[in-house]
């Protein structure tokens, strides 16, 4: 078996659950079990869902849980091997050639120039060359093209990469691999087969209240529930260009805490709407179709509040 293990055989689902909670990551059993299986089976985990629902956070939390490095490859359109895997340090190679010519010390061969000394390791190569097991985050893989996806298959299946000038580089330690996708395009079946799969939905009201209380403890329970109900209503009742996700929920909760808001009121909502709706058209749609006062009457009045102080 290639590589080694930091995932001790004694680790249990309950241990993992406790560690995730300890690191303020609130999730349900499906998420915990899937992460656990990916760790124990040493398989990449493909996490899909809308932006801001906590996909990237899984990688960050796991690096904290196992006290290891997080190596992140941020994907984008046009990403190629030279930015993701490696490239040669051509300036150093040319300098070496010039020095050897001027001094006449030796005649350089290909092996002299294409050696690890001149190799610039990018995130993928850094992850498999690491002496310790790391977390490799391949973030927003759906933004790349199909050619780059195909390039990833060798890494995801065999945890090795091919460098033409040097041969095959096998992982010293099999990294914990998390891939995320906002589902902007359909990923290939080949990539999916190599991964365990997890889809994260927007949280329920109850779960979002818990997330707010853990991440922004200065917000009272009553306000936390009002925020969660407001966000749930926005996502379900209106079609925005960019639905507000958990990231916006937490930003809004922090903003309301800074403003010392004790409850949601029309003026407060109007003044902070740009924190949760980051598109002018979305803001105008909310104001035109619902408005802050109608929103409060619809879903935030005292009859709908489950938790009260």
- What does 186-200 look like in DSSP terms, one character per residue? PPPHHHHHTSEEEE-
- The whole-angstrom separation of Cα 253 and Cα 238 is 21
- What was the pLDDT predicted at 1? 35
- Six token digits for residue 214: 């853990």
Please state the pTM of the whole predicted model. Answer: 0.83
CATH code linked to domain 13-81+122-199: 3.40.50.300
Q: At what angle do helices 55-65 and 29-41 cross, to 10 degrees?
A: 60
Write out the chain's pLDDT in tens, 309 residues: 334 445 656 789 999 999 999 999 999 999 999 999 999 999 999 999 999 899 999 999 999 999 999 999 999 999 988 889 887 666 665 666 666 666 766 666 555 555 666 678 899 999 999 999 999 999 999 999 999 999 899 889 999 988 877 778 899 999 999 999 999 999 999 999 999 999 999 999 999 999 999 999 999 999 999 999 999 988 988 888 889 999 999 999 999 999 999 999 888 998 999 999 999 999 998 888 877 667 766 665 544 443 333
Angle in degrees, CA 162, 109, 165, rounded to 5: 5
Angle in degrees, CA 204, 210, 216, rounded to 5: 125
Q: In 153-164, which positions are buried (b, 16+ CB within 10 angstroms) versus exposed (e)?
A: eebbeebebebe
> How many separate helices (H) and strands (E) can be counted in the chain?
15, 9
């Amino acid at each position: 078996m290639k590589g080694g293990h930091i995932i001790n055989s004694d680790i249990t689902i309950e241990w993992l659950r406790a560690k995730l909670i300890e690191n303020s990551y609130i999730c349900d059993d499906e998420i915990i079990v899937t992460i656990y299986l990916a760790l124990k089976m040493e398989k990449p985990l493909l996490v899909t869902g809308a932006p801001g629902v906590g996909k990237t956070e899984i990688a960050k939390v796991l690096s904290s849980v196992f006290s290891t490095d997080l190596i992140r490859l941020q994907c984008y359109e046009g990403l190629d091997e030279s930015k993701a895997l490696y490239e040669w340090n051509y300036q150093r190679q040319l300098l070496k050639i010039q020095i050897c010519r001027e001094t006449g010390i030796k005649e350089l061969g290909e092996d002299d120039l294409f050696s690890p000394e001149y190799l610039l390791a990018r995130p993928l190569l850094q992850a498999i060359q690491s002496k310790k097991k790391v977390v490799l985050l391949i973030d927003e893989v759906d933004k790349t093209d199909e050619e780059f996806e195909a390039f990833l298959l060798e890494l995801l299946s065999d945890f090795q990469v091919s460098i033409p000038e040097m041969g095959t580089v096998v992982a010293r330690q099999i990294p914990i691999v998390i891939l995320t996708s906002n589902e902007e395009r359909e990923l290939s079946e080949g990539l999916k087969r190599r991964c365990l799969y997890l889809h994260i939905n927007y949280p329920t009201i109850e779960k979002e209240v818990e997330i707010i209380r853990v991440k922004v403890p200065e917000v009272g329970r009553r306000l936390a529930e009002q925020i969660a109900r407001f966000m749930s209503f926005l996502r379900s009742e209106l079609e925005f260009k960019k639905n507000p996700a958990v990231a916006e929920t937490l930003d809004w909760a922090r903003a309301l805490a800074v403003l010392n808001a004790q409850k949601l009121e029309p003026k407060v909502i109007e003044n902070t709407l740009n924190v949760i709706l980051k598109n002018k058209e979305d803001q105008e749609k909310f104001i035109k179709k619902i408005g802050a006062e109608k929103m409060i009457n619809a879903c935030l009045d005292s009859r709908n509040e489950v938790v009260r102080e």
